[in-house]
Structure formats: structure tokens, C-alpha cells
Amino acid sequence: MLARHLNNIFDITSLKQEPTRDGFGHGLVDSGKSDERIIALCADLSESTRTEWFQKEFPSRYIEVGVAEQNLATIASGMANYGKIPFIMSYAVFSPGRNNEQIRTTICINKVPVKIIGCHSGVSVGPDGATHQALEDIGLMRMLPNMIVVVPCDSVEAYKATTAIAHDDVMPSYLRLGRASTPVLTTEKTHFEIGKAQLFYEVEKSEVTIIACGAMVYHALCAAKKLEGEIAVNVMNLATIKPLDTESILKEAEKSGAIVTVEEHQIAGGMGSAVAEFLAQTYTVPIEFIGVHDRFGQSGTPEELYKEYGLDATSIIQAVRKVVRRK
């Protein structure tokens, strides 16, 4: 059953769609209202990253660095070192892509609370093509000590994640966002806490648990629904990839005895890898990975690309059937 605090996403007529970057944009403005230490820095992408909304509200706390993502990270590091809480906004391929070493040294080793906002992640960026579709950023960020990594499943969760990381004036964090409008699954009532996974779909005697993050949670829920009567499937929203909610993951592995991970990211090094690294050392069960198989993205519509890269509900259903056979 779909968790009761969620919207009825299986009713296509009432399905609301919104990009996660919008939830972030509102979250940043509201966080800015309650904490004057919050600063927004942007590298010539203020409209598409929704930084513009903060800029309009707090012009003196908005800083433009130009097309210079390495500088974006280092200036923010200095400001955080001083006592501000800087948010840095760009596309994920540029930040944390291009400025990875600056993030590693000046933000993570320094241990300063810079909040890295990577917009336009995944193939769902669409027509811009491979150069603009970040498929490595979860890996890059979760490998860094001190970094918190959050991948919200919809705009409402993105809002809550933004205000949550804004409250933390000690640790750096990475928030991964998407460009496309995607279904709004969660509501005001849905609990959100950094480091806590949640079951969004729960059945009796589950045979498989799908662990998903980002916009893929919706596809996973659709797959679980379609499999009703054939295979009993739980769906977990793993919004925080680091620190990993090992307790909840272990519980699902023990209960279902098989896992399918689903993410809009390279399979190598992503969320599925984090889950597998943990389970391989604690409780081994068969795992199937849904994600991008060592390829770059390309131009197309999000729907065309989800299909081409095996990220749609059909591919998830096949993976669930396969993992059951491997039990």
C-alpha cells in the first residue's frame, strides 16, 4: 500500500508535477528569512537554479561570481570559514563536477558548512545532451569525508531538505536536483529527516524491496503497483545517501531477502553502490542495480531517455523479476 501521508500518485488526473529545483528555490528564500548568515552564490545561472528568487528577496546577500565554478567553491569556503552559511548554485556537471578538488580541500577537509546545490542532474536534463547531464555527482560527493548527500524525490521534499541543511552550521552538504517537472509524491504530512529512509510503499510478506532516490522513486512506485498480485514489493525512498540509513536498509534486506536499487546516475559509485557496500558486509542478499550502465547521456526528451537508459517502470519491473529468480 502507498503510505498514507503521500499524494494519490496513481490517479493521473490529480498528479501535480513540479521540478525539485523549485522546492529548493522556495526553501532557500524561507531559510534566508530565518537566518541572516545564509548567503547565495551563483555562477551565471541564477534563473535556472532558482537562485533569482533569493536574490530578489535579499539582494545584498546574493553574490555573482561569473562563469567560474572553482572560484564559486573557494569564495564560499572563505565565507563559511568566517561564519556565514553559503549556498553555491550551478549545474551538477560544473559544481561539484568541475570544482571537485576545491570542494574536497577547501570545503570538506576544511570542514566548513558550504551547501552545494547541483541542479540539472541526470539524463532528464533532456535536449542539452551528455555534457550537461551529471551522472557521476552522487559518487563524487559520497566519497568525500564530512559531506552529507541528499537526493530529494520531489519538490516538497527538496524544500524540506533545503531548510534542513540550512540549519546545519557545521557540516558541508550536497543537494542533488533535477531540471524536469516530476510528480509531487510527498505532502506536508510526510516526515523528513536527514539520514532517515522511509517506506513509501509497503506490503505484507514483501519478497523484494526497491530502494530508490530522486525522481526515480515515482517510477519505482509505479513498478511496485504494477507488480501487485505477481510479486510483493516494498519501495523505500532513500533521500539521504550519506550518512546512509543502514538500520532501515538492513531491516528490508532481512525482511524481503532481495533488493533492487534505482537511481538516475551511473551504477558505478552511486546510491546502489552505497547500499551494496553496506549489505555485502552485513547481510548478503541478491541485488539488482537500475541506473546508467557506463554510458554518457544524450539529447532527447526525458521520457525517451528514461526508456533508452532503462530507467523507466518497465525496466524496474524486469529487474524485480530477475532478482526474485536469484533468491
Partner 1 sequence: MSHLSDEQIKALELKANDIRISIIDMLEDAGSGHTAGPLDMADIFTAFYFHILNHDPKNPEWVDRDRLILSNGHIVPVRYATMAHAGYFPIEELKTLRKFSSRLQGHPERVALPSLETTSGPLGSGIGQAAGIAYSARMDNRKFHIYVLCSDGELDAGNSWESIMFAGKNKLTNLTAIIDRNNIQINGMTENVMPLEPLADKWRAFNWHVIEIDGHNIQTIVNAVEEAKAVAEKPTVIIAHTIAGKGIKEIEYDYHWHGIPPSSEQEKAWMKELRTLGNKIEASHYN
Ligand X SMILES: Cc1ncc(C[n+]2csc(CCOP(=O)(O)OP(=O)(O)O)c2C)c(N)n1
Per CB under 8 A, the list member of 21, 26, 50, 98 interacting with partner 1 is 98
Taking the complex as a whole, the smallest distance from the CB of residue 67 to ligand X amounts, in Å, to 4
199-258: contacts with ligand X (CB under 6 A): none
Grid cell 552559511 is found at 85
The C-alpha atoms of residue 222 and residue 98 are separated, in whole angstroms, by 35
> Which of partner 1, ligand X, none sits in contact with 17, Cβ below 5 to 8 A by type?
none
Residue 187 vs 301, nearer CB to partner 1: 301
CB of 132 to ligand X, least distance (A): 7
Q: Which residue has the cell 532503462?
A: 310
Q: Taking CB positions, which residue lies at the least distance from ligand X? A: 44
Measured from the Cβ of residue 187, the count of other Cβ atoms closer than 10 Å reads 12
- Phi then psi for 282, rounded to 5 degrees? -125, -45
Q: How far is the CB of 295 from partner 1 (least distance, A)?
A: 11
Residue 105 interacts with partner 1 (CB under 8 A): yes or no: no
Give the cell for residue 256. Answer: 524481503
For the sheet with 287-292, list strands across it: 198-201, 233-237, 208-212, 259-266, 287-292
The answer to whether 2 and 201 have CB atoms below 8 angstroms apart is yes
Site for ligand X contains 67 (CB under 6 A) = yes
Whether 69 is catalytic = yes
Nearer to ligand X, 120 or 176 (CB): 120
Q: How far is the CB of 115 from ligand X (least distance, A)?
A: 19
Among 8, 17, 131, 284, indicate the residue that binds partner 1 (CB under 8 A): 131
Cα 204 off chain centre by: 28
Nearer to ligand X, 48 or 146 (CB): 48
Among 145, 148, 123, 283, residue whose Cα is nearest residue 214: 123
Under the criterion CB under 6 A, does residue 94 sit at the interface with ligand X?
Answer: yes
CB-nearer residue toward partner 1: 97 or 286? 97
Residue from 47, 64, 69, 277 carrying the catalytic annotation: 69
- Contact segment (CB under 8 A) with partner 1 among 8-16, 59-67, 221-229, 317-325 equals 59-67
Is 126 a residue that touches partner 1 (CB under 8 A)? yes
- Member of 10, 17, 64, 187 binding partner 1 (CB under 8 A): 64
Cβ contact 147:89 at 8 Å: no
Contact partner at residue 299 from partner 1, ligand X, none, CB < 5 to 8 Å by partner kind = partner 1
**b/e per residue, 303-312, with b = 16+ CB within 10 A?**
eebbeebebb
Q: CB-wise, 134 or 259, nearer to ligand X?
A: 134
- Tell me whether residue 196 is exposed, middle or buried, using C-beta atoms within 10 angstroms of its C-beta: 0 to 12, 13 to 18, 19 or more: middle
Q: In angstroms, give the least distance from the CB of 310 to partner 1.
A: 15
| Interatomic CA distance for residues 54 and 32, integer angstroms | 8
Pairwise CA distance, residues 197 & 249, whole Å: 8
Choose one: 41-49, 156-164, 236-244, 293-301; the region binding ligand X (CB under 6 A).
41-49
Length of the chain: 327
Residues in contact with ligand X by CB under 6 A are 43-45, 67, 69, 94, 98
